[in-house]
Chain A
Amino acid sequence: MFRVGGTVPVMDPTQATREVFWNIEYTWLVYVLMVPTLAVFGWGFWLKIRRWRSGQPALRFDRPGERLQLFLRNAVGQGRTIKRRYAGLFHTLVYTGFIVLFLATTVVAIHHDTPLHIMKGHFYLIFQSLIVDIFGLFVLVGVALAAIRRWISKPKLLVYTDEASWILVTIFVMALTGFMIEGWRIAVTDDPWAAWSPIGNLFALGSDPWMTDTAMQRGHVIIWWFHLVVAFGWIAWVPFSKMSHVFTAPLNIFTANLDGYGGSLKTIDFETAERFGINHLGDFTWKDLLDFDACTECGRCTDVCPANTVGKSLSPRDIILDLQGLMHKRGDEFLGSRAGNGNGDGGNGSGELLPIIDQKTAVSPEALFACTTCAACMEACPVHIEQMPKIVDARRYLVMEEADFPEGMMDMMNSLESRQHPFAGTQFSRVDWTEGLDIDVMAEMDDPHEAEVLMWVGCGGALVERNRNTVRATAKLLKKAGVKFAILGREESCTGDPARRVGNEFLFEMLAKGNVETMERYGVRKVVTSCPHCFNSFRNEYPHFGGSYEVYHHTQFLDQLLESGRLDGNGAGGRSNGSSTITFHDPCYLGRHNGEYDAPRNLLAQVGGARQVEMERSRNTSFCCGGGGGMAFVDEPPDQRVNQERAQEAVDTGADVVAVGCPFCATMLDDGVNARRGDRDVQVRDVAELLWDAVGDSEEAAP
């Protein structure tokens, strides 16, 4: 399409190009302006990097291959960002638009400032004109979609700052003025290749009827310089705004924790540590500090946080942002506290460190102790920020330095200390559940090495009435499959998970070392347990204390027994237990923390006549039962119960059996389901119980 009245030029596409700096004088000014722009930009990031470097050491540049993969998937490929449809869409539009526009600018620079005149011919037409126009449009549309969300639909998860609004406005103005100057250049120069720049051409066609060439030419100069100033200003602003995530986010993803959430807590060297836990920015690692700067304020973490969902004050997003704010406000002051955990009193000469735990901010003790350590926040974060370990770091400070924690946690810790289990007042001993089952106890065996596997019962399994069926069913299934197993009986102690999550690392370490010693004595190599918390500790945490085992959750072990034919399954033809629909609740410490989603579902397929339905939040987006992080021992306010929120979701699926794979989930959901099931008969049962019903010896179907 050519402009009416234009002359028809000779059409040789191989010669197609355009004049850089058409209509612009004083072009040297561009280079002059570029100097302060880049200087401010560089200074901004230098400040950041200097702050990060003042953190404690952390190993995050190892395993470059894996890091690159993660980087490609979630930074370049936006793997997590696109999981939310609307935000994913507009972010992709803006993100890809920016990349293409950046490339286009680079092409111009190469063409103009080097002897390589690459901006011509088909490349000029297809990439530099057509594609660039399309992606420029992407930016406009993307920003408009973002603006609709921010200014009209206003979802709760966003942070409403002026900065965020100005970012949208600036980007929109940059893209729009870009098209304006392109359009007027096309109009005034009668650009023969106008059709290759459809959006610019649209501006040209739109302006032509009512603007003279002189007006357009003058407008072009003004808008051209305006566009340049806005763009340069924006570049200088990047390191000081949340736009810095353009650089911090990819870096953060590259340096993310590769070991899974289950192993993300740090160990403490109690011999040398000056302080236990963290209450000062300088005690964080450089990666923690980078985390604060990488936050995009997207709010997804808080949106999925179970504690926040039921109305508690915990908001992982605000914890990150408040700490970021503190870090920025303190500028370089906190750099002085570098000595941190290691030595010195820290604190920039004044000897005083600004505490991060503060009743008036999101980092309040109340919020910190509402966290169930479910890691939903970490799974949702598009830039791999690690919120939960920071929460535990701060809890450690409260618990170990201040002895300050909720009441229920106090009883639990007292009990752990004097009885090595967290269930004060239990009516059961560790071996009561074995009655009538004839189960070997390692200490009583002639040769404990004969046991192929240690069945780790767990406090939640042995000492809580409703879970004793689960461990009985597990033991019976193991027997039926002919597995030679034994238990530690009274020699078993809590793995220490509740102590660790609450922040009592010292107690955890004592319990862990004790267990490692006991297991060493019997030469234990293989462990199966029906508690995902024990499972996680053995798998990810005990290796730090010299205990390395082959660890299985009971659902994994049973699944393997079925698979290998050692345990006789009946396909889907197992006995029916009368239930028609089963829904499985993924335990955080089996699923998200350790990546096992299929084993329990495979086992449930054995239950005859029942079909499986999924809750809306399942697998890696599963919603915590409310019992993790020591929260099972805390009385939640009646209107803020995480277990009821989850139970409602389970009940809403219409299932008559809610299957679980964790003793804590079992008790939490039992309570929740009873409160929410109405008149319907909905049961909460462990996968092992259901499996025994389906494939166990029929004369003894119900254990």
Chain B
Amino acid sequence: MRVLVCLKQILDPDVPARDFQIDPDARAARRGGANLVTNIFCENAVETALQFREAAGGDVKITALCYGESSAEDCLRKAMAMTVDEACLVERDGNTNPDAAAVGRVLAAAIRRLEQDGGAFDAVLVGRESGDWGVGQTGGVLAEELGRPALGFVESLQPGNGSVTLRRQTDVGIEVAEAEPPFLVTITNNEDNVPRIPKTRDVMMSYRKPLQKLSLADLELDSEEIRAGSSIFEVEEIFIPADEVECELAEGDTLEERVDQLATRIHEVVASIG
């Protein structure tokens, strides 16, 4: 079986508030002193794939794929340290924040290329959403591009007889589904797919595993549109919302008066917000 996991490198969402800065002209966050990390849901996806391989008894080859800058190689190395078998980086030049449509097209092209070389992927795993923009569309768009059935918010994959058993989180509980490959799932987190810390030996080995690099030209996608990276929507303005706290004390001589006053003010404020 072949499993593909898509990864995204993002600005560290844990960056201290004061280090988080916006570049209003570029309409994006500034790198500043922040670190770059793998999006957490993507790491959950890697962990889910690894657990699937362990449950299946090993005959599963896992590939990690990323569309990003050259720094994203770190994310792929880390995935390989977690014992993903091979990796592929599609180097992005141009827009630093391509939208889901652009990303979906690039990933789909890369997947087709990888499948040409090594056989079809039975399962494609994509993180539920990214920790930077949080749009949550890449999985869906990619499934559409690939023409494969998709299921969202999956938390685990279990090997079955010729099929795969999926557990997915819904508002009302856990839904269990049987899926015939090939398919695509978006992965969410639960307590069982916390990304593992790699063993040191595997970290060292990760530098010996194959990491393929492709350019947009290699994928015949070197168009203005892909480079611009936005076709679904355009970011008009980006800003850090100002947190304003207004404090008002309920007044009155007795407790009762104060409670009355408080209740009245709550009514007024709620009414004013609408």
Provided the pairs A426-B16, A429-B18, A432-B16 are in contact, do residues A276 and B201 lie with their beta carbons within 8 angstroms?
yes
Number of A-B contacts (CB under 8 A): 48
**Contact at A403–B198, with CB atoms within 8 Å?**
yes
Query: Is A419's CB within 8 Å of the partner chain B?
Result: yes
**Contact at A400–B16, with CB atoms within 8 Å?**
no
Complex interface: chain A residues within 8 A of B203 (CB): 506
Q: Which residue of B lies closest to A275 (CB)?
A: B201
Q: CB-CB contacts of B195-230 with A at 8 A, as 1s and 0s?
A: 011111101100000000000000000000000000
Q: CB-CB contacts of B170-202 with A at 8 A, as 1s and 0s?
A: 000000000000000000000000001111110
Query: Is A418's CB within 8 Å of the partner chain B?
Result: yes
**Contact at A429–B33, with CB atoms within 8 Å?**
yes
**Contact at A419–B18, with CB atoms within 8 Å?**
no
**Contact at B16–A403, with CB atoms within 8 Å?**
no
Complex interface: chain B residues within 8 A of A230 (CB): none
**Contact at A403–B197, with CB atoms within 8 Å?**
yes
Residue among B16, B19, B33, B197 making CB contact with A413, cutoff 8 Å: B197
Provided the pairs A424-B14, A428-B16, A429-B16 are in contact, do residues A410 and B199 lie with their beta carbons within 8 angstroms?
no
Query: Is B12's CB within 8 Å of the partner chain A?
Result: yes
Q: Which residue of A lies closest to B19 (CB)?
A: A429
CA distance A402 to B18 in the complex (A): 38
CA distance A427 to B14 in the complex (A): 8
Complex interface: chain A residues within 8 A of B200 (CB): 270, 276, 399-401, 504-506
Give, as a whole number of angstroms, the nearest-CB distance from B34 to chain A.
9
**Contact at B12–A400, with CB atoms within 8 Å?**
no
Query: Is B28's CB within 8 Å of the partner chain A?
Result: no
CA distance A427 to B16 in the complex (A): 4
**Contact at A400–B14, with CB atoms within 8 Å?**
no
**Contact at A400–B199, with CB atoms within 8 Å?**
yes
Q: Which residue of B lies closest to A396 (CB)?
A: B200
**Contact at A419–B12, with CB atoms within 8 Å?**
yes
Query: Is A212's CB within 8 Å of the partner chain B?
Result: no
CA distance A118 to B16 in the complex (A): 84
Give, as a whole number of angstroms, the nearest-CB distance from B18 to chain A.
6
Query: Is B231's CB within 8 Å of the partner chain A?
Result: no
Query: Is B35's CB within 8 Å of the partner chain A?
Result: yes
Which parts of B71-127 form the interface with A (CB within 8 Å)? none
Provided the pairs A270-B204, A418-B35, A429-B33 are in contact, do residues A402 and B14 lie with their beta carbons within 8 angstroms?
no
Provided the pairs A490-B33, A506-B203 are in contact, do residues A427 and B197 lie with their beta carbons within 8 angstroms?
no
**Contact at B197–A428, with CB atoms within 8 Å?**
no
**Contact at B16–A418, with CB atoms within 8 Å?**
no
Give, as a whole number of angstroms, the nearest-CB distance from B198 to chain A.
7
Residue among A405, A410, A427, A430 making CB contact with B17, cutoff 8 Å: A427
Query: Is B37's CB within 8 Å of the partner chain A?
Result: yes
CA distance A17 to B215 in the complex (A): 103
Give, as a whole number of angstroms, the nearest-CB distance from B154 to chain A.
24
Give, as a whole number of angstroms, the nearest-CB distance from A408 to chain B.
13
Give, as a whole number of angstroms, the nearest-CB distance from B273 to chain A.
29
Give, as a whole number of angstroms, the nearest-CB distance from A461 to chain B.
15
Complex interface: chain B residues within 8 A of A432 (CB): 16, 18
CA distance A611 to B23 in the complex (A): 55
Which parts of A387-432 form the interface with B (CB within 8 Å)? 399-403, 405, 410, 413-415, 418-420, 424-430, 432
**Contact at A419–B16, with CB atoms within 8 Å?**
no
Give, as a whole number of angstroms, the nearest-CB distance from A395 to chain B.
12
Q: Which residue of A lies closest to B43 (CB)?
A: A414
Using a Cβ–Cβ cut-off of 8 Å, how many residues does chain B contribute to the interface with A?
A: 17
Complex interface: chain A residues within 8 A of B17 (CB): 427
Give, as a whole number of angstroms, the nearest-CB distance from A189 to chain B.
76
Complex interface: chain B residues within 8 A of A428 (CB): 16, 18
Complex interface: chain B residues within 8 A of A403 (CB): 196-199
**Contact at B197–A414, with CB atoms within 8 Å?**
yes
Complex interface: chain B residues within 8 A of A400 (CB): 199-201
Give, as a whole number of angstroms, the nearest-CB distance from A511 to chain B.
14
How many chain A residues sit at the interface, stated as a range, is: 20 to 34
Complex interface: chain B residues within 8 A of A504 (CB): 200
Which parts of B3-22 form the interface with A (CB within 8 Å)? 12, 14, 16-19
Complex interface: chain B residues within 8 A of A270 (CB): 200, 204
CA distance A400 to B204 in the complex (A): 11
CA distance A424 to B16 in the complex (A): 10
Give, as a whole number of angstroms, the nearest-CB distance from A564 to chain B.
37
Give, as a whole number of angstroms, the nearest-CB distance from B115 to chain A.
32
CA distance A400 to B19 in the complex (A): 33
Complex interface: chain B residues within 8 A of A426 (CB): 16
Complex interface: chain A residues within 8 A of B35 (CB): 418-420
CA distance A425 to B15 in the complex (A): 8
Complex interface: chain A residues within 8 A of B33 (CB): 429-430, 490
CA distance A259 to B12 in the complex (A): 41
Give, as a whole number of angstroms, the nearest-CB distance from B211 to chain A.
19
CA distance A400 to B203 in the complex (A): 10
Complex interface: chain A residues within 8 A of B14 (CB): 415, 419, 424-425
Q: Which residue of B lies closest to A432 (CB)?
A: B18
Which parts of A591-617 form the interface with B (CB within 8 Å)? none
Q: Which residue of A lies closest to B200 (CB)?
A: A400
Complex interface: chain A residues within 8 A of B204 (CB): 270, 506
Complex interface: chain B residues within 8 A of A506 (CB): 200, 203-204
Complex interface: chain A residues within 8 A of B198 (CB): 403
Residue among A402, A429, A505, A506 with most chain B CB within 10 A:
A429
Give, as a whole number of angstroms, the nearest-CB distance from B170 to chain A.
28
**Contact at B199–A402, with CB atoms within 8 Å?**
yes
**Contact at B12–A418, with CB atoms within 8 Å?**
yes
CA distance A428 to B14 in the complex (A): 10
Complex interface: chain B residues within 8 A of A410 (CB): 197
Complex interface: chain B residues within 8 A of A413 (CB): 197
CA distance A66 to B19 in the complex (A): 52
Complex interface: chain B residues within 8 A of A401 (CB): 199-201
Q: Which residue of B lies closest to A503 (CB)?
A: B200
CA distance A506 to B35 in the complex (A): 20
CA distance A283 to B14 in the complex (A): 40
Complex interface: chain A residues within 8 A of B196 (CB): 403
Q: Which residue of B lies closest to A425 (CB)?
A: B14
CA distance A418 to B35 in the complex (A): 7
Give, as a whole number of angstroms, the nearest-CB distance from B73 to chain A.
14
Give, as a whole number of angstroms, the nearest-CB distance from B208 to chain A.
13
Give, as a whole number of angstroms, the nearest-CB distance from B46 to chain A.
14
Give, as a whole number of angstroms, the nearest-CB distance from B213 to chain A.
23
CA distance A432 to B200 in the complex (A): 34
Which parts of A263-310 form the interface with B (CB within 8 Å)? 270, 276
CA distance A413 to B200 in the complex (A): 12
Complex interface: chain B residues within 8 A of A424 (CB): 14
Residue among B14, B16, B18, B200 with most chain A CB within 10 A:
B200
CA distance A418 to B12 in the complex (A): 9
CA distance A596 to B161 in the complex (A): 67
Give, as a whole number of angstroms, the nearest-CB distance from A676 to chain B.
32
Complex interface: chain A residues within 8 A of B199 (CB): 400-403
Q: Which residue of B lies closest to A270 (CB)?
A: B204
CA distance A39 to B16 in the complex (A): 71
Which parts of A223-265 form the interface with B (CB within 8 Å)? none
Q: Which residue of A lies closest to B74 (CB)?
A: A418
Complex interface: chain B residues within 8 A of A420 (CB): 35
CA distance A270 to B207 in the complex (A): 14
CA distance A418 to B198 in the complex (A): 13
Give, as a whole number of angstroms, the nearest-CB distance from A365 to chain B.
15
Lowest 6 A-B CB distances belong to which pairs?
A400-B200, A506-B200, A429-B19, A403-B199, A490-B33, A418-B37
Given contacts A424-B14, A429-B33, 9 further A-B pairs with CB under 8 A are A400-B200, A402-B199, A413-B197, A419-B35, A426-B16, A428-B16, A432-B18, A505-B200, A506-B200
What are 30 sample pairs from A and B whose C-beta atoms fall under 8 A apart? Answer: A270-B200, A270-B204, A400-B199, A400-B201, A401-B200, A401-B201, A403-B196, A403-B198, A410-B197, A414-B197, A418-B35, A418-B37, A419-B12, A419-B14, A419-B35, A425-B14, A426-B16, A427-B16, A427-B17, A428-B16, A429-B16, A429-B18, A430-B33, A432-B16, A432-B18, A504-B200, A505-B200, A506-B200, A506-B203, A506-B204
